[in-house]
Structure 1
């Protein structure tokens, strides 16, 4: 693997005419990359490198506290190197394609506690809009959908008898997500008692509609969620994505495996899902510190 790296450095030096400083930066970046692959991932051939290996390396770099500029430059070096390997027919594919630079803001996602979720979902269902609101919030927490996926649901996406919904995620990728008994019950109540009154005689396939019977927008749902949080005395600055974070965190805290959570969230790469394991570990440390007499 080191030989191909030396060939690449020779290539960019002769063919591209890069400056000494840029050349040295490429060398530094790729040496770190090679060390990580061989020592941390136990890879001994460039043909074995997968997209997940590259993203893991970038997250590893991110965790060491490097700047956003360094991360971007490292990814640029890796992309150019893998392009070189493919052009030279050393590898058949370029695993670095479409990888985005990890955001430097390595903050753990914020989420609601189980108690806060219970309080949020304790919505009085005494009129059509509150019945709809409960159905939407229950569905969002039960499935971990993105807000765009939620408001895009149609009647044909709903399979209450079988207990799941079908949604189209990023890149129009279809996935099936369990709905759960409580959310299913809330949606069923909405379909029977609320939606007909909101839609009236209009024909629409949209599952969740606004008070005019029209498709609900992302902004419209955001406002509804803010209002519900205020009414239910949830103090956190709640967003639809925080409920998605809560869904994933609570699943992992209660023993769900990472691959299943990845599939339900619709993450293309498991490294994206792994952030929730950090949240769960932090939560365990907080519980330990709070309750262990010798913590």
Structure 2
């Protein structure tokens, strides 16, 4: 089983070209399932059947795992068993008939338009002393709100990925899929100020072409971006405590509220499925209902 799991991990890395975070999540789920199968007496993957998989999911539920977690783990197992059958490591696909609970669709917290404006304006005011880190923070916030890119996509950007002639960035998303995302003049101005004046002040050997740098002068990591987003949003009165993904939700919501169609938002966010993008229609509808209840005398 350990050898098969190792082969599967190499498949995820070399053939599917998934990110290290996704690979760890997938292999962790499969390792848990295989450990459960071993306790039931199975010595190799050929003994893993539908009954074993259902037993493993039932154990997850008894341990108090959420429906969302169980649904994700069931998906991971179905992908794994399909790979086993496709590579002839198993005579059949045991997970083909495996059902899983539907994950709850929760409405994400987002900033109002005025709160998003306050976020970048307050960050800009704090950066008036021209401190490189302050200038960088403004550029990061402006770009994330303007584009809705993921935090991992942001930290992976290089300087050459920014096209100021067309005001677009080249983004490498999930599954190494490349897309082009536009940004506006405020983000352009913040980026130019960072690249031309602030970035050289903290750049250190080993920074390479990284667009955004950490305080040590090398490519910034995701944890640092999450920290700065939470810190800056805490300065906005009444704003929900959201992180980089909350800014992504905010950008998508404001695009739809401004008249963008779902297909356009899907392309900008890099969603593989329209179903993922449709959650934002629920957000905008709920906000309309909330405004109606507050404003209409007979709501």
Aligned to 1:118: 117
Whether 2:145 is the aligned partner of 1:141: answer yes
Gaps of 5+ in 2: 1-48, 55-66, 83-94
In structure 1, distance between residues paired with 2:157 and 2:264: 22
In structure 2, distance between residues paired with 1:68 and 1:140: 26
Aligned to 2:178: 174
In structure 1, distance between residues paired with 2:265 and 2:279: 12
In structure 2, relative to structure 1, the CA distance for the partners of 1:225 and 1:68 (3 Å cut) is closer
Whether 2:192 is the aligned partner of 1:188: answer yes
For residue 104 of structure 1, report the CA deviation from its aligned partner.
Answer: 2.0
In structure 2, distance between residues paired with 1:102 and 1:168: 32
In structure 2, relative to structure 1, the CA distance for the partners of 1:68 and 1:180 (3 Å cut) is closer
| Structure 1 contact 119–234 (Cα < 8 Å) conserved | no
CA RMSD of the aligned region, Å?
3.5
Aligned to 2:133: 129
2:271 match: secondary structure: coil
TM-score computed with the length of structure 2 as normaliser: 0.65
Match of 1:162 among 163, 166, 186: 166
Match of 1:273 among 273, 277, 283: 277
Aligned to 1:249: 253
| Structure 1 contact 143–178 (Cα < 8 Å) conserved | yes
2:218 match: secondary structure: coil
Higher Rg of the two aligned structures: 1
**1:195-206 to 2 correspondences below 5 Å:** 195-199=199-203, 204-206=208-210
| Structure 1 contact 200–213 (Cα < 8 Å) conserved | yes
Aligned to 1:106: 105
| Structure 1 contact 120–234 (Cα < 8 Å) conserved | no
| Structure 2 contact 109–240 (Cα < 8 Å) conserved | no
| Structure 2 contact 142–186 (Cα < 8 Å) conserved | yes
Report which stretch shifted further, 142-151 or 100-109: 100-109
